[in-house]
């Protein structure tokens, strides 16, 4: 299938916005949700994944008791504005999307196998937003690309392409997303939220965290040792490589992660009110 020009808005806000979402209200947690709705070379099958996953994440955010502002990192004007108003949001939720530009983490020059959706300007602005929130001690939750961006924001690196990919995504002619068993490490914040030990998740990725940033620790691994979760040991900064927002799987982990993020953002008493 031919690719679509990056200048054409393939995915629109109307297709992903959560029904009944409310603007920010006093006493209600407000989340900045960062995602690229239209990255370069977007094909229609991948665009449909962006629609479905983004919609699922936004609905879950409102169901957790928060309002949100969607920040489309494929729009430079939105990113520039968000770096200003974003200081007023209570937390940052970074969704999945295209690959991170190798230049952002000192990766290889030239063509990366299976590379797609690279937008270096969006990457660098997203990294700045992550550090803005983390440095202000505001919670940051990342999914897939979001988890990788967290690692890069703290100085870590990325595996450009997982050669033995069978645990992590479907092969040629197969569905991209599959069920994967990961091990959540005991003693981690992630374990406190979703439980320690084996966990079956939805995965569909060809990149992953390589060298974990010095300030971060591993929170989960795949059966082949690939990093499936990273976190800051003292700040509420947490990334998961898998996709809890994939509605073909369980919604348990996403609900637990969002509730924990909002508890951290607003304090224990506000978190208790979220149900």
| 7-16: b (≥16 Cβ within 10 Å) or e | eeebbeeeeb
Q: Contact, 167 vs 142, CB < 8 A?
A: no
Q: Annotated active-site positions, please?
A: 144, 243, 245
Q: Which residues contact residue 118 at a Cβ distance below 8 angstroms, ignoring those fewer than 6 apart?
A: 39, 40, 98, 99, 100, 101
Q: Contact, 143 vs 94, CB < 8 A?
A: yes
> What angle, rounded to 10 degrees, do the helices at 120-135 and 145-153 form?
70
Residue matched to tokens 């030239």: 110
Closest CA to 182 of 156, 147, 138, 152: 147
**Token representation of residue 194:** 């979703």
Counting other chains too, the contacts that 186-190 makes at CB distance below 8 Å and 24 or more residues apart are 188/217, 188/218, 188/219, 188/220, 188/229, 188/231, 189/219, 189/231, 189/236, 189/238, 190/219, 190/220, 190/229, 190/231, 190/238, 190/240
């Amino acid at each position: 299938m031919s690719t679509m020009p990056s200048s054409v808005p393939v995915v629109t806000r109307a297709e992903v916005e959560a029904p009944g979402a409310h603007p920010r209200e006093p006493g209600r947690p407000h989340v900045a949700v960062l995602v690229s709705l239209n990255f370069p070379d977007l094909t229609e099958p991948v665009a449909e994944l962006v629609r479905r996953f983004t919609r699922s994440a936004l609905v879950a955010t409102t169901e957790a008791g928060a309002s949100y502002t969607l920040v489309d990192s494929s729009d430079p004007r939105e990113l520039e504005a968000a770096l200003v108003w974003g200081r007023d949001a209570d937390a940052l939720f970074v969704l999945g999307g295209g690959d991170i530009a190798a230049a952002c983490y000192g990766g290889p020059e030239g063509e990366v196998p299976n590379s797609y959706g690279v937008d270096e300007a969006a990457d660098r602005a997203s990294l700045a937003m992550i550090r803005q929130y983390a440095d202000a001690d505001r919670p940051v939750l990342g999914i897939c690309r979001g988890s990788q961006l967290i690692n890069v924001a703290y100085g870590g690196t990325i595996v450009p392409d997982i050669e033995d990919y069978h645990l992590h995504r479907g092969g040629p002619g197969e569905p991209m997303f599959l069920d994967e068993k990961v091990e959540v490490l005991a003693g981690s914040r992630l374990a406190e939220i979703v439980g320690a030990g084996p966990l079956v998740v939805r995965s569909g990725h060809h990149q992953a965290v390589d060298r974990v940033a010095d300030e971060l620790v591993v929170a989960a691994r795949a059966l082949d040792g690939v990093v499936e979760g990273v976190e800051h040991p003292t700040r509420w900064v947490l990334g998961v490589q898998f996709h809890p927002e994939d509605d073909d799987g369980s919604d348990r982990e996403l609900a637990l992660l969002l509730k924990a993020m909002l508890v951290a953002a607003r304090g224990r008493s506000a978190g208790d009110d979220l149900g």
